[in-house]
């Protein structure tokens, strides 16, 4: 019987009530008294020298309060990068300044030049058209190979080149890997692109800055996945505002997918300008603006080589990647192609020797940073594509080749040659389950039916692993993170026994208000409705690092468990006093404290009341009150894994691909709310299938964004996608966090692109084509061209 | 110019510029912030409302054009006692929403679909939702929710 509450129950989401009735409070729904409106004038060229900006006419336009340019921010801090990568020669990466508004030069289409602040948005927009920006267009570098060529135009004049870093991992393995590849029975080599994407949460970014001069206090409302991180970065590095004078509120947030992790110039602008004009300042991005100002994702160009023996045993992997950073370093950008990518190159396999080289490149494009999966989809795509190609070259079934090389269940914990130690997993089990859910044995018959209808049918598989629950602070500190990656929770028991949990995690679609309450309610044996989850406001929650990298339940949930354990420990002391029993004899279950071997008992509510009305209370040894905080720093990453199976039909006349079915067998360890977990997988799959078939962020050679709206950027729509068959019954619980959880937010987006591409290649080859690879997205035009040589 | 219209059963009026969009009027003048703006090319459907019983993207209509009309927004979709309407309840039961941003538009489109076609097939639902983008759910549970709601449509008081 499925549970109807607590851990493991598909509790309905409490947040849905406000979202379904239009009562959600997203940042743009907030209006503060006296607010003004900011409109950003942005560069329409990819690279240019600013000769002058004449703002006089705009400043005199109706309703305009002030016009800001880069000159207003001289002496103010610049947008910081939160991760410093050290290159393979031991040198730090090249790190250019990223001003709030462009100073001297513009470096990508969308780089902000000036901002008009006016009484209304239309007045601000109208006035911005009167700004005369004299910008001398310069040659731009868009393509990464061009950017690295000798004599290339530099994105930043003060850097030595467009190379941010040349990273090698594990550098000591380099020669051994080269040798193994040279001596191997067979080497499969594949060149591929991981296409540039735009995250596109449905809610565009918004920021509202407020300043109270009498208290010298700033408030920023912002669409963020991590309000404390914004407070830290903006307060300490950009504007010089101490934390106690800066409150950051991220209310209901309409999706993030990574792109709302980062600290953006618009947040700093609104905070700065509110003080400068002594009025609140609101900025709301429109979608066109989002395309040229939200950090993009992916954009890797890779060559991977896989060396095997006669039996198909993997001997070595060598990969070379160029990773696009765009024009500036966004908050976590340097970590994505390095530590979040290189450490996953072992996949689910026992490959003993691995070397990963990454060259990060500046170009005159929008900055690129983490997008759902962040580095792990790029690693998985290379590995699972090259294995599929290798299987065909070796004449081994792709499922069998993977099985031969899987880490076996008895090999855990398993230390990979790329520095991470997988605690648990059972890849054979997820493979079996995926094939069962996908009805793999019925594929041949389905292919015959498709062929009878004039269609080609393909079967594609992908086995993925990812590292979630980031991360041990001391480890990431060594790797270049400029922050700790713990999480926090305060559990406040109220006098009548209800609970408020203040968490540093942030929910922007994940349903934490429901799931987190399920955990605490289960631990205390009380009703879920008695537990409220508070998040998204630095004034109401302890310092936390926020939500990304599928870390909320693994790290934030663990902090909450630890705080609740402290509550239970103190409550037991109080209960032992009330029952006049030895503390060691007190047991707590189902909301009741009992004394072993007696009929003495005291209820949860009575203990809570005693803590706040301490008339009969051991005041000499215990403080009144019942409130505890815990900070949890994980001992390791968590390692969700799974096997995905995609079946496609290809229309040979048009090249159009349709996804006929998609099966996912994931191992997320223990699951708190199966309904929510399945929903997370569905969403990830849609984004991954979107990447594989539809989505592409394209620039022309001059750096103009060709896919700058929903008219040109192909977002997956309901009729592009099938129902998914998802299963999470293979569970090997995480061994190092108290809930045994691994995280589920990114898996779908990581495992699906290679499954789709493998299926399409399988379909085409079944029709007699020799095509080996097609770069994503697999549009009808590309597929048709590949079929016709 | 001054306009009057009926919104969720109440007479409302306000002053708008000729260029003011219906969605701006609903959000800023009337404070009905449940209708969302997710794009600027009439593609995303987060702003779908019903105007005289027909689903309309409120970013494609001027407020002035809606003068004299009967408009229903997401705020008008709950039952009179405040409980969730059938479609809303189906979205909660089937986890048809995550971040909630596209949800008002999805519910309004679903209501219009079921009024037009009370027993739509899966393919008909998916085709009807082409103009509503969701980035969270992968549409799976939205389609399920609409299927579920369609099974009890007689109980739906969509308008």
DSSP-H helix ranges across chain B? 22-24, 86-93, 103-116, 122-128, 140-150
Residue B155: is its pLDDT beyond 50? no
Mean pLDDT, to the nearest integer, of A368-382?
A: 98
**How far apart are the C-alpha atoms of A522 and B87, rounded to whole Å?**
31
Asked whether the beta carbons of A455 and A657 are under 8 A apart, the reply is no
Mean pLDDT, to the nearest integer, of A687-710?
A: 98
- What's the pLDDT at A89? 97
Mean pLDDT, to the nearest integer, of A286-303?
A: 98
- Our CA-based measurement puts residue B42 at a distance from the nearest CA of chain A, in whole angstroms, of 9
Q: Is B38 close to A721, i.e. CB distance below 8 A?
A: no
3-state secondary structure A22-35: CCCCEHHHCCCCCC
pLDDT in tens, B47-78: 999 999 999 999 999 999 999 999 999 999 99
Mean pLDDT, to the nearest integer, of A648-666?
A: 98
- What's the pLDDT at A574? 98
Of A690, A689, A664, whose CA–CA distance to A744 is shortest?
A: A664
**How far apart are the C-alpha atoms of A428 and B133, rounded to whole Å?**
37
Residue A434: is its pLDDT beyond 90? yes
Chain B residues near residue A719 by CB distance under 8 angstroms: 123, 126-127, 129-130
Q: Is B97 close to A19, i.e. CB distance below 8 A?
A: yes
Chain A residues near residue B92 by CB distance under 8 angstroms: 12-13, 16-17, 20
CA of B52: how far to CAs of A71, B65, B66, B81, B153, in Å? Answer: 52, 12, 9, 23, 20
Mean pLDDT, to the nearest integer, of A248-254?
A: 98
Q: Is B135 close to A15, i.e. CB distance below 8 A?
A: no
> A203 phi and psi, to 5 degrees?
-90, 120
Residue A426: is its pLDDT beyond 60? yes
A719: nearest CB among B33, B97, B130: B130
- What's the pLDDT at B153? 39
- Number of Cβ pairs < 8 A linking chain A and chain B: 182
Measured between CA atoms, the residue of chain A closest to residue B143 is: A718
- What's the pLDDT at A3? 87
Chain A 247-276, CB below 8 Å of chain B: which residues?
252-255, 257
**How far apart are the C-alpha atoms of A417 and A681, rounded to whole Å?**
29
Chain A 486-515, CB below 8 Å of chain B: which residues?
508-511
Q: Which two tokens stand for residue A451?
A: 């062929």
Chain B residues near residue A16 by CB distance under 8 angstroms: 91-92, 97, 100
Residue A122: is its pLDDT beyond 70? yes
Q: Is B99 close to A685, i.e. CB distance below 8 A?
A: no
Confidence of residue A648 (pLDDT cuts 50, 70, 90): very high
Confidence of residue A789 (pLDDT cuts 50, 70, 90): confident
pLDDT in tens, A211-228: 999 999 999 999 999 999
Find where tokens 């790029």 sit: A378
pLDDT averaged over every residue in chain A: 97
A22: nearest CB among B44, B75, B143: B75
Asked whether the beta carbons of B128 and B68 are under 8 A apart, the reply is no
Chain B residues near residue A287 by CB distance under 8 angstroms: 38-41, 44
Mean pLDDT, to the nearest integer, of A45-72?
A: 98
Mean pLDDT, to the nearest integer, of A464-476?
A: 94
Confidence of residue A1 (pLDDT cuts 50, 70, 90): low
Q: Is A718 close to B73, i.e. CB distance below 8 A?
A: no
Measured between CA atoms, the residue of chain B closest to residue A27 is: B33
Q: Is A721 close to B41, i.e. CB distance below 8 A?
A: no
Asked whether the beta carbons of A58 and A64 are under 8 A apart, the reply is yes
Residue A362: is its pLDDT beyond 50? yes
A202: nearest CB among B84, B130, B134: B134
- What's the pLDDT at A191? 98
Residue A352: is its pLDDT beyond 80? yes
Q: Which two tokens stand for residue A4?
A: 């109807």
Mean pLDDT, to the nearest integer, of A118-142?
A: 98
Residue B154: is its pLDDT beyond 50? no
Confidence of residue A515 (pLDDT cuts 50, 70, 90): very high
Residue B152: is its pLDDT beyond 60? no
Report ipTM (2 d.p.). 0.97
Confidence of residue A145 (pLDDT cuts 50, 70, 90): very high
Q: Is A22 close to B33, i.e. CB distance below 8 A?
A: yes
Asked whether the beta carbons of A705 and A292 are under 8 A apart, the reply is yes
Mean pLDDT, to the nearest integer, of A85-99?
A: 98
Residue A2: is its pLDDT beyond 90? no
- What's the pLDDT at A645? 98
Asked whether the beta carbons of A778 and A712 are under 8 A apart, the reply is no
Residue A649: is its pLDDT beyond 50? yes
> Which region holds residue A511: left if phi is over 0, alpha if psi is between -120 and 50, else beta?
left
Q: Is A255 close to B98, i.e. CB distance below 8 A?
A: yes
B102: nearest CB among A202, A510, A675: A202
pLDDT in tens, A179-202: 999 999 999 999 999 999 999 999
Mean pLDDT, to the nearest integer, of A162-181?
A: 97
Residue B9: is its pLDDT beyond 60? yes
């Amino acid at each position: 019987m499925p549970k109807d509450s607590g851990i493991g129950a598909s509790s309905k989401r409490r947040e849905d009530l406000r979202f379904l009735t239009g009562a959600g409070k997203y940042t743009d729904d907030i209006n503060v008294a006296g607010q003004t409106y900011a409109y950003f004038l942005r560069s329409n060229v990819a690279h240019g020298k600013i000769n002058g900006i004449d703002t006089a006419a705009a400043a005199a336009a109706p309703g305009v309060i002030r016009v800001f340019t880069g000159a207003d921010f001289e002496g103010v801090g610049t947008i910081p990068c939160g991760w410093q990568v050290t290159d393979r020669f031991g040198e730090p990466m090249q790190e250019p300044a990223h001003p709030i508004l462009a100073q001297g030069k513009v470096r990508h289409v969308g780089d902000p030049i000036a901002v008009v602040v006016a009484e209304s948005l239309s007045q601000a927009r109208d006035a911005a058209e009167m700004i005369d920006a004299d910008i001398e267009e310069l040659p731009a570098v868009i393509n990464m190979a061009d950017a690295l060529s000798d004599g290339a135009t530099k994105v930043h004049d003060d850097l030595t080149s467009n190379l941010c870093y040349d990273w090698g991992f594990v550098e000591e393995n380099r020669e051994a890997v080269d040798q193994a590849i040279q001596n191997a029975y067979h080497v499969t080599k594949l060149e591929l692109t991981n296409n540039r994407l735009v995250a596109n949460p449905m809610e565009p970014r918004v920021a509202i800055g407020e300043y109270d001069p009498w208290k010298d206090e700033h408030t920023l409302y912002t669409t963020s996945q991590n309000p404390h991180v914004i407070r830290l970065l903006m307060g300490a590095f950009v504007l010089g505002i101490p934390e106690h004078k800066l409150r950051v509120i991220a209310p209901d947030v309409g999706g993030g997918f990574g792109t709302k992790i980062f600290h953006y110039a618009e947040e700093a602008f609104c905070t700065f300008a509110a003080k400068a004009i002594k009025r609140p300042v609101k900025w709301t991005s429109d979608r066109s603006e989002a395309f040229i100002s939200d950090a993009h994702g992916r954009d890797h160009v890779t060559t991977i080589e896989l060396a095997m023996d006669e039996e198909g045993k993997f001997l070595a992997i060598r990969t070379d990647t160029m990773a696009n950073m765009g024009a500036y370093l966004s908050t976590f950008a340097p970590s994505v192609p390095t530590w979040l990518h290189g450490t996953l190159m072992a996949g689910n396999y026992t490959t003993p020797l691995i070397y990963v080289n990454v060259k990060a490149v500046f170009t005159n494009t929008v900055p690129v940073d983490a997008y759902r999966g962040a580095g792990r989809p790029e690693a998985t795509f290379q590995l699972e594509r090259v294995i599929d190609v290798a299987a065909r070259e070796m004449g081994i079934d792709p499922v069998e080749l993977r099985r031969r090389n899987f880490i076996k269940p008895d090999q855990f914990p398993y230390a990979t040659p790329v520095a991470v130690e997988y605690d648990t997993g059972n890849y054979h089990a997820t493979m079996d389950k995926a094939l069962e859910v996908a009805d793999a044995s019925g594929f041949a018959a389905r292919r015959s039916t498709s062929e009878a209808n004039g269609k080609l049918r393909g079967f594609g598989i992908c086995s993925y692993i990812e590292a979630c629950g980031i991360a041990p602070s001391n480890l990431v500190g060594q790797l270049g993170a400029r922050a700790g990656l713990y999480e926090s929770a305060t559990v406040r028991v109220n006098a009548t026994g209800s609970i408020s949990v203040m968490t540093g995690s942030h929910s922007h679609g994940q349903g934490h208000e429901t799931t987190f309450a399920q955990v605490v309610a289960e631990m205390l044996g009380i009703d879920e409705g008695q537990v409220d989850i508070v998040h998204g406001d630095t004034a109401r929650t302890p310092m936390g690092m926020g939500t990304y990298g599928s870390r909320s339940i693994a790290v934030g949930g663990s902090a909450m468990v630890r705080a609740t354990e402290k509550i239970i420990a103190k409550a037991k002391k109080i209960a032992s006093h009330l029952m006049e029993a030895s503390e060691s004899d007190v047991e707590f279950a189902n909301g009741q404290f009992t004394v072993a071997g007696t009929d003495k008992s005291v209820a949860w509510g009575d203990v809570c009341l005693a803590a706040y009305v301490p008339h009969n209370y051991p005041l000499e040894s215990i403080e009144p009150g019942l409130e505890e905080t815990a900070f949890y720093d994980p001992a390791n990453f968590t390692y969700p894994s799974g096997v995905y199976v995609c079946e496609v039909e290809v229309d040979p006349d048009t090249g159009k691909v349709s996804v006929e079915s998609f099966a996912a067998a994931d191992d997320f360890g223990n699951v708190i709310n199966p309904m929510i977990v399945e929903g997370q997988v569905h969403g990830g799959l849609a984004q991954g299938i979107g990447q594989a078939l539809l989505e592409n962020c394209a620039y022309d050679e001059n750096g103009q964004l060709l896919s700058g709206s929903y008219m040109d950027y192909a977002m997956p729509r309901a009729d592009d996608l099938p129902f998914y068959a998802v299963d999470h019954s293979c569970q090997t619980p995480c061994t190092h966090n108290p809930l045994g959880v691994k995280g589920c937010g990114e898996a779908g987006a990581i495992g699906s692109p290679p499954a789709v591409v493998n299926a399409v290649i399988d379909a085409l080859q079944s029709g007699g084509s020799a095509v080996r690879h097609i770069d994503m997205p697999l549009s009808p035009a590309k597929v048709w061209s590949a079929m016709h040589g | 110019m001054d306009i009057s219209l009926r919104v969720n059963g109440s007479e409302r009026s306000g002053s708008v510029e000729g260029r003011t969009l219906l969605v701006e009027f609903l959000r800023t003048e009337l404070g009905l912030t449940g209708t969302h703006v997710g794009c600027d090319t009439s593609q995303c459907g987060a702003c779908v409302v019903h105007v005289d019983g027909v689903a309309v993207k409120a970013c494609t209509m001027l407020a002035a054009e809606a003068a004299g009309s009967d408009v229903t927004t997401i705020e008008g979709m709950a039952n009179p006692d405040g409980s969730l309407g059938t479609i809303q309840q189906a979205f909660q039961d089937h986890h048809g929403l995550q971040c909630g941003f596209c949800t008002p538009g999805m519910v309004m489109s679903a209501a219009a679909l079921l009024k037009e076609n009370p027993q739509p097939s899966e393919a008909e639902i998916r085709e009807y939702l082409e103009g509503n983008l969701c980035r969270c759910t992968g549409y799976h549970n939205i389609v399920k929710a609409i299927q579920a709601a369609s099974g009890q449509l007689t109980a739906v008081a969509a308008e």
